[in-house]
C-alpha cells in the first residue's frame, strides 16, 4: 500500500517510543522506505539498533553525522521524504516545531522539508491540557500539520486521561489515507481559470494585478490527480510549471480570457473561476510607446466583460460554478453579494491582507460561502490542500444535481 513512499519517522523522548518500533515495522511491511531519526532523549527509552534492524537503514541521531559527503544529511532527508511522522511527539518537540526552532536533527529536518508532516502527541494528561501545549498544537494545525489524536486511558505516569499515543495500527491507517488519491472526478470535465490578465496601454506598458496563478494551478493539479479532464486557462507571464496531463491555454487580456472561457464553458461539468481578471481596461491602446510629457497623465478606463456573471446567467442545469473573492475588508458581505448576483453554487473568499493568504504565497486561508451563508472556514493550509477541499464541495454539488 505504501510501495515507493519514503517516510521519515521522528522518535522523541517519551515512554511511547516503544510503540514507534511497532509503527516502523508495520510501515516497512506495507512497502514504505522508513528513515528513522532519534532525538537524544528518545535514546533513553529505545536504542538505534532496534530501528536499524526494523527499517534496514542507518538510524540518524546527530545533526552533524555526515556519512555521505556528497549531500547535507538533514537536507537530503527532508527532500527524500514523502511524509514526515513524529511518533511519539512530546510537548517539547511540539513547542520547538511551533516556534520554528532547529536545534537537532529532527527539528532541522522539519524546517527543511516540503513534505506533509504528521504528529502523534503523547504525554501526561495535564501536560496535554496545558494552554501552552494547546496553543502550540493549534499553531501547527493552522500551518497544515496533520494530527493523529492521542487516546484516553491509563498513562504510564499513573494518571488516567487523554495523552496516550495512538496505536500503531491507527497511525498506519492515517498514513495510508494521506497517500490515497481520490478518483471521484473520472469522466468529468473541469474548466479552471488562473493568474492575472494584463491590459495594454501601449506596446511597452500594461495594467495588471498581483495574482501569480498558484491557486488555480494547484486546483488544476488536484483535479487532474482525481481523474478529471482539465482545461486550465492561464493569464499572466509567470514561471509556474504547466501541470502534467492538463490542457493549458495561455491568454493575455480580459477579452482573451472571455473568449477562451465562453467558447469552452458549455463543455464543462465544473467551472472554477480563480483568475484575477481586470475589471477595467484602457479605452485607447496606443500603437506606439507613449512619450513622457510635462504635467499629469489621465488614462480613461472602461469596464471589461463580467465573465463570471455571464457564466452564471447561462449556467446549464448540471453545471457547478465556483467563484473566488479576493477581498481586503467586509469579506463575508462581499462574498455573499457575489454568490447571489452571479448565480454561483458557492464562492471561495479570502482576505488577501492576511499573512499566508495573499497572492504569491504557497498557502491560503479561505472560507466557502453559498446562498445560505458560511459553508466552511479553513485554517492556513497549502494551496493544494485548499484545492482538494474546494473540489470536495464541488463534487457534492455536482452529484446533488443528477
Per-residue exposure over 240-252, b if at least 16 CB sit within 10 Å of its own CB, e if not: eeebeebeebebe
- With beta carbons less than 8 A apart as the criterion, state whether 137 and 149 touch: no
Q: Taking the alpha carbons of 356, 357, 363, 367 in that order, is the dihedral positive or negative?
A: positive
Beta bridge partners of 89: 121
**Please, what is the end-to-end C-alpha distance for the chain in angstroms?**
33
Say how far apart CA 93 and CA 117 lie, in whole Å.
13
Say how far apart CA 289 and CA 350 lie, in whole Å.
37
Annotated catalytic residue, options 22, 72, 112, 157: 157
* Neighbouring residues of 366: CB distance < 8 A, sequence distance ≥ 6: 348, 349, 350, 357, 378, 386
Say how far apart CA 116 and CA 144 lie, in whole Å.
8
Name the pairing type of β-strands 160-164 and 280-282: unpaired
For the chain, give the longest Cα–Cα distance. 83
- With beta carbons less than 8 A apart as the criterion, state whether 12 and 106 touch: yes
Say how far apart CA 105 and CA 102 lie, in whole Å.
8
Spatial CA neighbour of 120 closest among 157, 156, 83, 154: 83
Query: Does the annotation mark 120 as catalytic?
Result: no
Say how far apart CA 199 and CA 235 lie, in whole Å.
11
- With beta carbons less than 8 A apart as the criterion, state whether 346 and 321 touch: no
Say how far apart CA 393 and CA 322 lie, in whole Å.
10
Say how far apart CA 374 and CA 369 lie, in whole Å.
4
Secondary structure (DSSP) of 200-262: ESSSS-EE--S--SHHHHHHHHHHHHTT-EEEEEE-S---PPPPTT-EEEE--SHHHHHHHHH
Spatial CA neighbour of 105 closest among 127, 91, 84: 84
List residues with catalytic annotation: 157
Amino acid at each position: 500500500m505504501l510501495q515507493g513512499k519514503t517516510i521519515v519517522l521522528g522518535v522523541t523522548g517519551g515512554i511511547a517510543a516503544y510503540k514507534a518500533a511497532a509503527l516502523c515495522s508495520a510501515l516497512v511491511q506495507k512497502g514504505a522506505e522508513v528513515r528513522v531519526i532519534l532525538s537524544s532523549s528518545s535514546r533513553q527509552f529505545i536504542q538505534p539498533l532496534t530501528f536499524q534492524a526494523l527499517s534496514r537503514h542507518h538510524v540518524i541521531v546527530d545533526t552533524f553525522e555526515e556519512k555521505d559527503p556528497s549531500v547535507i544529511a538533514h537536507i537530503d532527508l527532508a527532500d527524500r521524504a514523502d511524509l514526515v511522522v513524529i511518533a511519539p511527539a512530546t510537548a517539547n518537540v511540539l513547542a520547538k516545531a511551533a516556534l520554528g526552532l532547529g536545534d537537532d536533527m529532527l527539528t532541522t529536518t522539519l524546517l527543511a522539508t516540503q513534505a506533509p508532516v504528521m504528529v502523534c502527541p503523547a504525554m501526561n494528561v495535564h501536560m496535554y491540557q496545558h494552554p501552552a501545549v494547546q496553543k502550540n498544537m493549534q499553531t501547527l494545525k493552522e500551518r497544515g500539520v496533520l494530527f493523529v489524536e492521542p487516546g484516553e486511558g491509563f498513562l504510564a505516569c499513573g494518571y488516567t486521561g487523554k495523552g496516550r499515543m495512538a496505536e500503531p495500527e491507527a497511525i498506519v491507517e492515517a498514513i495510508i489515507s494521506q497517500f490515497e488519491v481520490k478518483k471521484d472526478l473520472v469522466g468529468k470535465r473541469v474548466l479552471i481559470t488562473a493568474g492575472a490578465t494584463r491590459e495594454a496601454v501601449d506596446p511597452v506598458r500594461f495594467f495588471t494585478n498581483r495574482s501569480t496563478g498558484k491557486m488555480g494551478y494547484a486546483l488544476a493539479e488536484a483535479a487532474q490527480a482525481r481523474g478529471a479532464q482539465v482545461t486550465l486557462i492561464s493569464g499572466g507571464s509567470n514561471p509556474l510549471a504547466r501541470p502534467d496531463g492538463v490542457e493549458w491555454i495561455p491568454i493575455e487580456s480580459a477579452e482573451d480570457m472571455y473568449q477562451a472561457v465562453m467558447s469552452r464553458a458549455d463543455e464543462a461539468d465544473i467551472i472554477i473561476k480563480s483568475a484575477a481578471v481586470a475589471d477595467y481596461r484602457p479605452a485607447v491602446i496606443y500603437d506606439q510607446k507613449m512619450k513622457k510629457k510635462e504635467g499629469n497623465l489621465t488614462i480613461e478606463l472602461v469596464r471589461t466583460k463580467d465573465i463570471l456573471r455571464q457564466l452564471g446567467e447561462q449556467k446549464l442545469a448540471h453545471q457547478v460554478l465556483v467563484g473566488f473573492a479576493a477581498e481586503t475588508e467586509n469579506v463575508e458581505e462581499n462574498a455573499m453579494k457575489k454568490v447571489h448576483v452571479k448565480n454561483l453554487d458557492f464562492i471561495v473568499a479570502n482576505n488577501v491582507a492576511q499573512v499566508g493568504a495573499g497572492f504569491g504565497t504557497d498557502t491560503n486561508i479561505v472560507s466557502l460561502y453559498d446562498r445560505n451563508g458560511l459553508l466552511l472556514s479553513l485554517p492556513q493550509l497549502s494551496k493544494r490542500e485548499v484545492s482538494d477541499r474546494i473540489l470536495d464541495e464541488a463534487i457534492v454539488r455536482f452529484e446533488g444535481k443528477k
